[in-house]
């Protein structure tokens, strides 16, 4: 079995694959101070709940935007799983996707994994929108080349800033949708501003990116923890795939073995 690990700034998404099939997955808060042994304790419990043991894992692949966590996970894979992990972004991992930006070393591993996964699935020009700690837009040509994209603060950052920088505005649960764009109370107004506002921002950037990518007609694919929440407030998202990054990790492992 393959253990695929995507380490983000806020959450880690971990999946176990049997061949190309995702057997189970977890979403765990990223704790940058976690030690190797603490990771082992957490995942021993999660594995046990799914009827898995550490020695069921034969391979590991890691994508990370948190260097300290990448090191801890690599050590965990080596010590407890007895595997030599593939780390996306290292010279050992071949993605099969040309990266046409000024400095290819700058690209976040998760962004490249998403682009590879989406192109493998749709085989066309794409804009991949990842709703994580930051929201990223990643553009892929019809020839399968990574072109670049855009980055903006994510919803959680905006909500935290709104709560910490204002004296009277409350924290709001945006999983409960507003009734309309015109909020008739403070809570409804915040929900409208976040959900309709971010939906409009996503649509606006996709429109500009599509204009720049013309005459190609890229599909827009959404992923990430907030994708299913925000996509209904957009008009430009064609597909939603919350497991896109894990699928991309499994694909890259397959290509490199």
Q: What local confidence, expressed as pLDDT, does residue 257 receive?
A: 83
pLDDT of 90 reads 74
Q: Is the pLDDT of residue 127 over 70?
A: yes
110 as an active site residue: the answer is yes
Considering the candidates 110, 130, 138, 241, report the single residue annotated as catalytic. Answer: 110
| pLDDT the model gives residue 157 | 85
Sequence spans of domains, the chain: 2-87, 104-248
Which pLDDT value is given to residue 172? 82
Mean pLDDT on 198-226: 96
pLDDT tens digits, residue range 29-53? 999 999 999 999 999 999 999 999 9
| pLDDT at residue 105 in the model | 87
Q: Rounded to a whole number, what is the distance in angstroms from the first to the last CA of the chain? A: 13
Tokens for 17? 């694959």
Domain 104-248 has CATH 3.40.50.620: no
Is a pLDDT exceeding 90 seen at residue 156?
no
Q: Read off the pLDDT band of 93 (50, 70, 90).
A: confident
Q: Same topology for domains 2-87 and 104-248, yes or no?
A: yes
How would you list the strands of the sheet with 86-87, edge to edge?
A: 21-29, 11-18, 2-7, 59-64, 86-87
User: What's the pLDDT at 115?
Assistant: 97
141's torsion region: left (phi>0), alpha (psi -120 to 50) or beta? beta
Whether residue 170 has pLDDT greater than 90: no
CA atoms within 13 A on the CB side of 113: 34
- Is the CATH number of domain 2-87 3.40.50.300? no
């Amino acid at each position: 079995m393959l253990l695929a690990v995507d380490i983000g700034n806020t959450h880690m998404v971990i999946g176990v694959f049997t061949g190309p099939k995702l057997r189970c997955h977890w979403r765990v808060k990223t704790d940058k101070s976690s030690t190797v042994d603490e990771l082992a304790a957490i995942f021993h419990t999660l594995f046990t709940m799914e009827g898995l043991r550490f020695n069921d894992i034969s391979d590991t692949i890691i994508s990370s935007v948190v260097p300290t966590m990448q090191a801890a996970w690599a050590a965990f894979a080596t010590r407890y799983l007895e595997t030599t992990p593939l780390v996306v972004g290292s010279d050992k991992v071949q993605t099969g996707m040309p990266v046409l930006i000024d400095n290819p070393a700058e690209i976040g591993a998760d962004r490249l994994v998403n682009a590879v996964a989406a192109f493998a699935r749709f085989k066309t020009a794409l804009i991949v929108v990842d709703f994580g700690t930051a929201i990223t837009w990643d553009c892929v040509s019809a020839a399968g080349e990574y072109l670049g994209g855009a980055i903006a603060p994510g919803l959680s950052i905006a909500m935290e800033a709104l709560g910490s920088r204002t004296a009277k505005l409350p924290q709001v649960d945006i999983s409960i949708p507003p009734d309309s764009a015109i909020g008739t109370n403070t809570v409804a107004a915040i929900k409208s501003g976040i959900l309709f506002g971010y939906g409009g921002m996503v649509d606006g950037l996709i429109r500009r990116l599509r204009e720049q990518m013309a005459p190609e007609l890229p599909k827009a694919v959404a992923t990430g923890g907030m994708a299913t929440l925000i996509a209904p407030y957009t008009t430009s998202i064609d597909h939603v795939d919350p497991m896109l990054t894990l699928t991309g990790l499994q694909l890259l492992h397959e290509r490199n073995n």
